[in-house]
Amino acid sequence: MAAGDPVPPDRTIYRAIRGKQLNSDKSINEIAFLLQPAHGQYEDETYLSFGVDIRGAIAGLNNIRYVAEMRVADILPLGLTVVEDPDPQKIQVSGMPMARDDEATAYRVAKDLRNKAKLLPAQ
């Protein structure tokens, strides 16, 4: 598959979850699925980054203890697009707004993603 190709619905993908993205009961907070605004040298996110496997999800990140496991088939009905990334370890999930542009929709989609995710240890 090449960058931009749709990811088949039967695939499972993984998103790195930082400690601050967990609730006190160790459940995933919806903020884990919000696009991040520009900060430091980084521009606004335009898509959520997932990994093709757990190693791909945490590649290049530090201190990641958890990942969210999701099926592509659970993401597509939310109106999101799931495509291959130029990095073969990554998957792009796009189609949701920044919270500052449409807070209600961003949080609704983030909560829907959270509800479909299964929390797993990253190791």
Indicate the domain borders of the chain.
12-121
Which helix (H) or strand (E) segment holds residue 50: the answer is strand 48-51
Mean pLDDT of 1-24: 95
Mean pLDDT of 92-96: 97
Confidence of residue 20 (pLDDT cuts 50, 70, 90): very high
Q: Coil, helix or strand for 16?
A: strand
Q: What is the pLDDT of residues 28-48, one digit of tens each?
A: 999 999 999 998 898 999 999
DSSP 47: S
pLDDT of amino acid 75: 98
Cα–Cα distance for residue pair 17/43, rounded to 1 Å: 20
pLDDT of amino acid 116: 97
> In b/e form, how buried is each residue of 44-75, taking b as 16+ CB within 10 angstroms?
eeebbbbbbebebbbeeeeebebbbbbebeeb
pLDDT of amino acid 50: 98
Confidence of residue 123 (pLDDT cuts 50, 70, 90): confident
Q: What is the pLDDT of residues 51-81, one digit of tens each?
A: 999 999 999 999 999 999 999 999 999 999 9
pLDDT of amino acid 17: 98
Tell me if the domain spanning 12-121 has CATH number 1.25.40.
no
CB within 8 A of 102, min separation 6: which ones?
none
pLDDT of amino acid 81: 98
List, edge to edge, every strand of the sheet that includes 48-51. Answer: 81-84, 90-94, 48-51, 12-17, 66-71, 118-121
> 56 φ, ψ to 5°?
-65, -35
pTM of the complete model: 0.94
